[in-house]
Structure 1
Amino acid sequence: MKFTLLPERLAIVRLERDAEIPSWATGRFASITRTPDELSIVCEQAAVPRDARASRGWRCLALHGPFDLNATGVAAEFTTILARERVSVFVIATYDTDYVLVSNDSVESAIAALERAGHTVVSS
């Protein structure tokens, strides 16, 4: 598999389930998910208000796709590699591919683990 390390520094934000999608939830990379329990937003951390309930300091490894929606084991393969290295992940799936968020403190360990397992990681 091939990954690209995106340049953005990201934040994972939790809002109340009935919250409006905020105007700051934009940028080159943004993911918005509403569930019955919450509104989760992943976007550039510089855009997130200081008082927001957020986890900051995430980097994104974009998996080169597209992958068939019926493909099995794609996320399991890379998350298993990272789990062995004790790298926590936050995975976002889209129609075409997967995005793996790792903390800025763990990004070098994550890249090294993926490369040792035979995967390629490039910077954008």
Structure 2
Amino acid sequence: MEIKTIDFDFSVCKVNDVSSLNLKAEYCFIGKTDEEISLVCITGDVPDNVVEREDGWKAFRIQGVLDFSLIGILSSIAALLAENKIGIFVVSTYNTDYVLTKAENFVKALELLSDAGYSII
């Protein structure tokens, strides 16, 4: 399985509303519940109306389109990183999953995945 690194710094944010979001940005993940609106975006694209934010994230994606019938792909990655004390923040799209780690853990995470047989591109 291929892991593709994404060469941007990311931020995880909470916003009051979506009016200031740049939906044309290369990466913009929005989650809304009855309690909050969350945003994951490139750090340089963080809007002015954030309530809270945490910078310092790096990301990779599981390369290719993942069929919904596939089971355990994300859990295998999460378990490997958890065993090595690396926390993750995951965003899933229709096609695939994006995994974010804190920047200081990113290289180690990629090394662990490579050692486990994942191809890093």
> What residue is the counterpart of 1:97 in the other structure?
96
Structure 1 unaligned segments of length 5 or more: list them.
Answer: none
Give the C-alpha shift of residue 15 in structure 1: 2.2
What is the TM-score when the length of structure 1 is the normalising length?
0.88
Query: SS of 1:62's equivalent?
Result: strand
Structure 2 unaligned segments of length 5 or more: list them.
Answer: none
1:1-124, aligned counterparts within 5 Å?
1-16=1-16, 19-24=17-22, 26-49=24-47, 52=50, 53-122=52-121
Alpha-carbon RMSD across the aligned residues, in angstroms, is 1.7
Tell me the distance in 1 between the aligned counterparts of 2:76 and 2:58. 19
- Judge conservation of contact 1:32–1:39 (CA < 8 Å) in 2: yes
What is the TM-score when the length of structure 2 is the normalising length?
0.90
Identity %: 24
More strand by share: 2
Cα displacement string for residues 27-52 of structure 1 (whole angstroms, at most 9, x for unaligned residues): 21110111111101000111225783
